[in-house]
């Protein structure tokens, strides 16, 4: 019995010790100290450990790191104390100082605000050395993008009132350096000049102040590696490898040289082309639609284009969500690439609703009549592209975006048409100068989307020393809501020639009917009276005989085809037109003649510098009938900015003994241009051109015998007043009575 009492006493004495030991292994309390501006709750959110959790030193250290990673503290420490209820864990934090001000010094070539925009640290944020270092890197990149590659950037931190921090970035600007030479190592298939044309980084040129050539941007140089590889892939070199560029700075720091290492590999051709999956067309038909052909050099761009073409074929059948998976198998032994296209057509899709957004001014029906897709139609990718092109070419909208939206019904989609309208009304007053006209005053009032109806109204005037022109035009794009456009025009025109003047006044009405999305047929009736007067005593007999007032009543039939992608900024497409005009006879009037004109023009992407090639050929013929002569003002006057540049109006055609232009019964001329961007944001472009052609009487003129040739350059600007052309043409074979060069300008589109 005595032994039992002793055991019970020992147990009772040991119980508090056991309970204390258990409490010592738990976290009784978590405290935060040292924070002044940072809320305690924010810090607690970074701590995963909770009160009454088992005490674990490793977890506490992890919480300490989490608090530090918030970036608001320069130091975090732990203090652990024992209590009768367990461990008391205290996180002792030292806050980073708030940034009160940021200064930049030493910069002269780059504005302070431009530098501050690149900084990763901001005022009223906590001081963070890592952010300061990142900001220094951004400043160096900014200087490098401007041609200053060895910029030195440092920083200073000062503390006010012992708490607030002021950061100052110290910049030591270097001399501006330009890329003087770009070379390639390992290239055999292509010359250096061709490879340079692929790259965005370029050597310094004469117009570097305007084009930015010679500036080395590291991001652009890295992208150039991808561009070169893409170029090689597009020419059959599927194993191409472009290494890291070697950039060398000259000793004086003013010039850079770049060496691009290239491993070309071998040329690969297409071995076979196959198809599998959900087949809607036979293989032969699919092969005919593709640009990639067996035994031809493998070209990545054509391969991608073929994938889109095949996808469009299926989407035109209504399979909007079809998938065409392109697969390649490369055989290195025989150097071939086998192509396979796997079709998964999905479900046939129909248009449920067409929703139009953003047309605050333009009426819904004006938008819908340009769309090639309507509610209930089977889906078609071709019609979608045509709809977007038509809306863009109305010129009513700054941006056109068309998206497919799925509905609850798996076989139906909604088409969302999102538009951003642009101002379509203009009031312009201008003054210009040319070598022929001297001072020209011009003004115009126009509205290309009258009250949101799509109707166009133009009233313009131009007064110069040679020409005076006044014109009013009204265009109804959909007459009585039918797919027929009509235009009514009234005009008064005066032109002063060297030895005579002629004045014309009258009007016209025309109707145009689209036959397809690209082909249109038109008919126009014109009536005008023309007076030839103020004839010089020295004028030739041909001009003397034309004196007086005569009327012209004519009908013109035309057929045109226009596939140009963007009429305001063309990059590809064709515009062709043939027209025949009959004057007099059953139409009455004083002048009897037949006139035919044919035009073919084409824009071709150049493939570099976002530039475009443009070529145009124009031929015309006029013949009298009924025993009446051809009036001199109806003949073809070749020469000037619209025909053969480098010659005054009519001076590339027949002239009388006094050297005055008489106009030709025939015309034939060709224009070739290279159009390249100078400053894209402003729509400023440059052009180099070559023209050849003439007006003529003899049939040998169709072989360009005696044709005039010119070359030159110019500037094209999409100004707020409309498109402007400034061009200087040089006569390549000037005769004694011809000028060596002619400068000209015009306002308005070139179509």
CB burial of 631-647 (b: ≥16 within 10 Å; e: otherwise) equals: bbbbbbbbbbbbbbbbb
Query: Does residue 441 lie in a domain region?
Result: no
Average pLDDT of adjacent 10-residue blocks, the chain of 751 residues: 49 45 70 81 86 87 84 82 87 83 89 90 83 90 81 86 83 84 93 91 76 77 93 94 90 85 95 94 93 94 93 92 93 95 93 91 90 92 90 87 91 93 71 56 76 87 81 91 92 84 93 92 96 85 85 96 86 95 95 97 89 96 94 93 92 88 95 91 89 94 94 86 82 89 69 29
Quote the strand ranges of 56-128, DSSP E. 73-83, 86-95, 99-105
Q: What is the CATH number of the domain that holds 142?
A: 3.10.20.310
d(CA 305, CA 313): 13
- Residue 749's nearest CA partner among 540, 566, 487 is 566
Q: What is the CATH number of the domain that holds 527?
A: 2.40.160.50
d(CA 719, CA 525): 33
Contact 229, 240 (CB under 8 A): yes
d(CA 534, CA 378): 66
Place of tokens 């070359």: 711
Query: Does residue 274 lie in a domain region?
Result: yes
Query: Does residue 73 lie in a domain region?
Result: yes
Helix residue ranges per DSSP H, 40-128: 40-45, 57-69, 112-116
Instruction: Please write down the long-range contacts of 320-324, taking CB distance under 8 Å and 24 or more positions apart.
Output: 320/346, 320/349, 320/379, 320/381, 320/404, 320/413, 321/346, 321/347, 321/349, 322/278, 322/346
Is the alpha carbon torsion for 415, 419, 425, 428 positive or negative? Answer: negative
pTM of structure: 0.60
- End position of a domain, from candidates 288, 309, 344: 344
- Residue 601's nearest CA partner among 654, 561, 638, 542 is 561
Q: In the prediction, which pLDDT does 749 show?
A: 41
- Is 531 in the same domain as 663? yes
Helix residue ranges per DSSP H, 369-407: 381-393
- Is 215 in the same domain as 76? no
d(CA 656, CA 674): 35
Kind of pairing, strands 350-357 and 467-476? Answer: unpaired
Q: In the prediction, which pLDDT does 412 show?
A: 93
Residues in a beta bridge with 573? 603
Q: In the prediction, which pLDDT does 35 show?
A: 82
Q: In the prediction, which pLDDT does 439 show?
A: 62
d(CA 547, CA 588): 20
- End position of a domain, from candidates 67, 95, 123: 95
Q: In the prediction, which pLDDT does 17 show?
A: 43
d(CA 116, CA 101): 12
Domain range for 375? 350-421
- Is 406 in the same domain as 550? no
Query: Does residue 445 lie in a domain region?
Result: no
- Is 621 in the same domain as 641? yes
Query: Does residue 234 lie in a domain region?
Result: yes
């Amino acid at each position: 019995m005595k032994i039992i009492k002793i055991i019970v006493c020992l147990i009772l004495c040991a119980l508090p010790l056991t309970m204390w030991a258990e409490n010592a292994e738990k976290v009784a309390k978590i405290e935060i100290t040292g924070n002044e501006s940072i809320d305690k709750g924010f810090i607690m959110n970074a701590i995963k450990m909770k009160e009454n959790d088992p005490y674990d030193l490793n977890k506490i250290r992890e919480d300490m790191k989490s608090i530090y990673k918030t970036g608001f503290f320069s130091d975090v420490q732990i203090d652990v104390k024992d209590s009768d209820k367990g461990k008391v864990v205290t996180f002792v934090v030292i806050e980073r100082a708030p940034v009160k001000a940021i200064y930049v010094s030493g910069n002269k070539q780059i504005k302070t605000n431009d530098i501050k925009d690149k900084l990763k640290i901001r005022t009223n944020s906590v001081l963070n050395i890592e952010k300061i270092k990142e900001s220094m890197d951004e400043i160096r990149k900014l200087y490098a993008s401007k041609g200053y590659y060895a910029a030195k950037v440092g920083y200073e931190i000062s503390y006010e009132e012992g708490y607030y921090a002021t950061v100052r970035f110290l910049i030591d600007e270097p001399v501006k350096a330009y890329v003087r030479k770009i070379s390639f190592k390992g290239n055999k298939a292509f010359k250096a000049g061709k490879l340079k044309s692929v790259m965005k980084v370029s050597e310094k040129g004469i117009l570097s102040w305007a084009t930015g050539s010679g500036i080395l941007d590291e991001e652009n140089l890295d992208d150039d590696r991808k561009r070169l590889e893409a170029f090689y892939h597009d020419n059959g070199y599927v194993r191409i490898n472009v290494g890291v560029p070697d950039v060398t700075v000259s000793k004086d720091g003013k010039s850079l040289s770049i060496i691009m290492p290239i491993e070309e590999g071998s040329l690969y051709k297409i071995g076979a082309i196959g198809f599998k999956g959900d087949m809607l067309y036979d293989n032969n038909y699919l092969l005919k639609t593709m640009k990639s052909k067996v035994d031809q050099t493998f070209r990545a761009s054509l391969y991608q284009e073929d994938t889109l073409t095949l996808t469009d074929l299926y989407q035109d059948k209504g399979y909007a969500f079809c998938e065409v998976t392109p697969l390649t198998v490369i055989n290195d032994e025989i150097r071939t690439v086998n192509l396979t296209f796997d079709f998964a057509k999905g479900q046939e899709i129909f248009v449920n609703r067409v929703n139009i957004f953003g047309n605050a001014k333009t009426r819904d029906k004006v938008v819908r009549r340009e769309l090639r897709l309507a509610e209930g139609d089977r889906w078609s990718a071709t019609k979608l592209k045509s709809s977007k092109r038509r809306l863009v070419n109305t010129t009513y909208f700054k941006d056109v975006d068309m998206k497919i939206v799925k509905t609850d019904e798996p076989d139906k989609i909604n088409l969302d048409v999102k538009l951003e309208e642009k101002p379509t009304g203009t009031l312009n007053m201008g003054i210009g100068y040319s070598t022929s006209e001297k001072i020209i005053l011009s003004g115009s009032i126009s509205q290309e989307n009258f009250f949101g109806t799509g109707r166009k109204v133009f009233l313009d005037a131009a007064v110069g020393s040679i020409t005076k022109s006044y014109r009013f035009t009204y265009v109804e794009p959909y007459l009585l809501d039918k797919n027929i456009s009509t235009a009514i025009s009234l005009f008064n025109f005066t032109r002063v020639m060297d030895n005579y003047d002629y004045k014309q006044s009258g009007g016209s009405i025309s109707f145009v009917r689209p036959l397809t999305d690209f082909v249109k047929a038109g008919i126009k009736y014109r009536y005008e009276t023309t007076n030839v007067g103020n004839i010089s005593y020295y004028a030739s007999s041909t001009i003397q005989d034309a004196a007086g007032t005569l009327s012209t009543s004519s009908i013109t039939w035309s057929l045109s085809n226009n596939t140009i992608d963007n009429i305001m900024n063309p990059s590809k497409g064709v515009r062709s037109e043939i027209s025949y005009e009959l004057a007099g006879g059953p139409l009455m009037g004083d002048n009897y003649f037949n006139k035919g004109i044919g035009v073919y023009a084409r824009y071709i992407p150049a493939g570099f510098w976002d530039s475009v090639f443009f070529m145009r050929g124009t031929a015309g013929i006029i013949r009298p009938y009924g025993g009446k002569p051809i009036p001199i003002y109806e003949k073809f006057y070749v020469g000037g900015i619209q025909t053969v540049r480098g010659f005054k109006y009519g001076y590339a055609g027949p002239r009388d003994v006094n050297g005055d232009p008489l106009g030709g019964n025939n015309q034939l001329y060709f224009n070739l241009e290279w159009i390249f961007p100078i400053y894209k944001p402003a729509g400023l472009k440059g052009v180099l051109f070559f023209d050849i052609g003439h007006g003529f009487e003899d049939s040998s003129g169709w072989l360009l015998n005696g044709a005039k040739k010119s070359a030159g350059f110019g500037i094209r600007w999409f100004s707020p007043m409309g498109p402007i052309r400034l061009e200087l043409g040089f006569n390549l074979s000037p005769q004694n009575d011809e000028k060596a060069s002619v400068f000209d300008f015009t306002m308005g589109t070139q179509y």
